[in-house]
Amino acid sequence: MPEERVCSGKVVSVRPDRREVRVDPVPGMEDRVQTDGWVWFRAVTGREWKCKVIGVRRTGQGVVITVSPGTPKDTIAQLRGAEALAPASPEGELEPLYTLDDLRGLTVARGDGTIAGHVTDLYDGKAHAMAAVETPDGAERIIPLIPQVVESVDLEAGVITVGDLTPYSLSDED
């Protein structure tokens, strides 16, 4: 049985080139515009999209949600006027979202717990955000902040858990 969702806001503008969607929240739903790393949108036609959220920032004009590169730019362009949806029950929310600035200084660890480094800088690129990571041996690697790499972010513990970085990271030697 599909999860029941309610309207948490209306999409008032989109920036497909930056994968950004600006949502004007429904009064009382400001904190529920996005949930557990995912946001659903329902177009006027009734069609729904589920998008991975990689960043959120609140502005005086609503909430700007940055969705993952896995969401085609054509889809983002179709979201103007759509409803942003949230689970009808708040206990469906699993983890808070974060902004890029929240990641600065966090420890980067592999799934087995070994330390891959610490985030020293962040870059908001056109396709996706990236993090500069100083490795334990003092080298710097640039990793993309994409779902294929970032497995989880635990702000309380100060840890970003990543999968295999080899296919995605760059260093001075590359």
pLDDT at 35: 46
Q: Which fold has domain 100-171?
A: SH3 type barrels. (2.30.30)
Summarised one tens digit per residue, pLDDT across range 137-158 is 998 888 888 877 888 888 888 9
SS (H, E, C) the chain: CCCCEEEEEEEEEEEHHHCEEEEEECCCCHHHCCECCEEEEECCCCCEEEEEEEEEEEECCEEEEEECCCCCHHHHHCCCCCEEEEECCHHHCCCCCCCHHHHCCCEEEECCCCEEEEEEEEEECCCCEEEEEECCCCCEEEEECCCCCEEEEECCCCEEEECCCCCCCEECCC
In the chain, which segments carry CATH 2.30.30.240? 100-171
Mean pLDDT, residues 153-169: 81
Q: Assess whether pLDDT exceeds 60 at residue 92.
A: no
Summarised one tens digit per residue, pLDDT across range 21-59 is 999 888 776 666 664 578 889 988 888 888 888 888 888
pLDDT interval class at 169 (50, 70, 90): low
In the chain, which segments carry CATH 2.40.30.60? 5-92
Summarised one tens digit per residue, pLDDT across range 49-68 is 888 888 888 887 788 888 88
CATH superfamily to which 5-92 belongs: RimM (2.40.30.60)
pTM given for the model: 0.49
